Amino acid sequence: MEINPFALLASALVTLVIGFIWYNPKVFGNVWMRENNLTQEELRKGNMLKIFGLTYIFSLMITMIEMGLTIHQSGAVGMVGGPPLIESAKPSFNAFMADYGMAYRTFKHGALHGFMSGLFFAFPIFGITGLFEKKSWKYIFVNAGYWIVTLTLMGGIICQFA
């Protein structure tokens, strides 16, 4: 099963693009800053190259997990004898890929699984962390909402184009 590395690189950019929109003061940025007791001036003091660079690297890590959650063939390949090199694949692998190689490889299907990973993974993490850190529900919903939207789009891109 060939993977398009450009789709993974593009998917990782989603965190930055959606973050730019989501945390803009005209959207949820003012709420987010107020809930974190931050000001625009404090945020500008950060090392932006480090922040955005590491964000992109972490986002690439997320794409690897999202790929496994959205592309069902990646899990099934190991079960039917698919090795890294297609030339030495077992007949069961070739038969499986002939029948199901592109099944459920749509943006809509990937977006569904991305949404589910956001709702059932990211939201609980922010909920638990927020509760223990005595954060408000606004804080939890702003951050979890960002990840639900971001993972939905990442899942769609990965499933359709990777």
DSSP per residue, 30-77: HHHHHHTT--HHHHHTS-HHHHHHHHHHHHHHHHHHHHHHH-HHHHHH
pLDDT tens-digit map of 141-159: 999 999 999 999 999 999 9
Distance (Å, whole) CA 56 – CA 54: 5
Backbone angles phi, psi at 85, to 5 degrees: -100, 120
What is the distance, to the nearest Å, from the Cα of residue 149 to the centroid of all Cα atoms in its chain?
9
C-alpha neighbours within 13 Å on the C-beta side of residue 81:
10
| In contact, 7 and 161? CB cutoff 8 Å | yes
pLDDT at 88: 64
| pTM attached to this predicted model | 0.88
**Helix pair 72-79, 91-100: axis angle to 10 deg:** 160
**pLDDT at residue 158, as a whole number:** 95
Q: Tell whether the model's pLDDT for residue 74 goes beyond 90.
A: no
> Tell me: the pLDDT tens digits for 16-69?
999 999 999 999 999 999 999 999 999 989 899 999 999 999 999 999 999 989
Q: How far apart are CA 50 and CA 85, in angstroms?
A: 37
Which residues lie closer than 8 Å to 75 by C-beta, 6 or more apart?
A: 68
pLDDT tens, residue by residue, 75-132: 776 676 665 556 666 777 777 777 877 778 899 999 999 999 999 999 999 999 999 9
How high is the pLDDT of residue 94? 74
Residue 43 neighbours by CB distance under 10 Å:
14
